[in-house]
Amino acid sequence: MARNILGASQAYAATPWFWSDQYDVKLQIAGLNDGHDRIVERGGDQRSRSIWYFREDRLLAVDAINDPRAYMTGRRILESRQTISPEYVADSTIDVKTLLSRAVKLSQAT
């Protein structure tokens, strides 16, 4: 992290990520869904969808099946230490890339 090079002492916490190609299915995961209390699913066809995991309205992880845009959006939100409202994620009329602009910075307390 550049801030640490400049003298800040912030712990580095990488966002875990994973991907796997299984024949014609690409599974991509960002974050860890351990301890979630809410799941929001986007997509609706049999080919592609994403599952977003929240705890107390804080995004924990995204599983994307044949949906690289959802994966990259979720990963960027997680890596920037932001979160997104589960209601925004659930709204299928909102393009997944637009979710990134609606993400909010997590407070220092979380």
Between residues 14 and 7, which one has the greater pLDDT?
Answer: 14
In angstroms, the CA 64 to CA 77 distance is 14
* Strand segments (E) across 1-110: 17-22, 25-31, 38-43, 49-55, 58-65, 82-83, 104-105
The CATH number corresponding to 13-104 among 3.30.390.30, 3.50.50.60, 3.40.50.2000, 1.10.1280.10 equals 3.30.390.30
pTM for the structure as a whole: 0.85
Q: What is the pLDDT of residue 108?
A: 47
pLDDT at 11 over 80: no
| Structural contact between residues 71 and 79, judged by C-beta atoms closer than 8 angstroms | no
Query: Cβ distance 24 to 64 under 8 Å?
Result: no
> CA triplet 19, 106, 82: central angle to 5 degrees?
30
Q: pLDDT tens digits, residue range 50-109? A: 999 999 999 999 999 999 999 999 999 999 999 999 999 999 899 998 998 989 987 643
Number of neighbours of residue 89 by Cβ within 10 angstroms: 25
Domain residues of the chain, as ranges?
13-104
35 residue type, one letter: G
pLDDT recorded at residue 107: 65
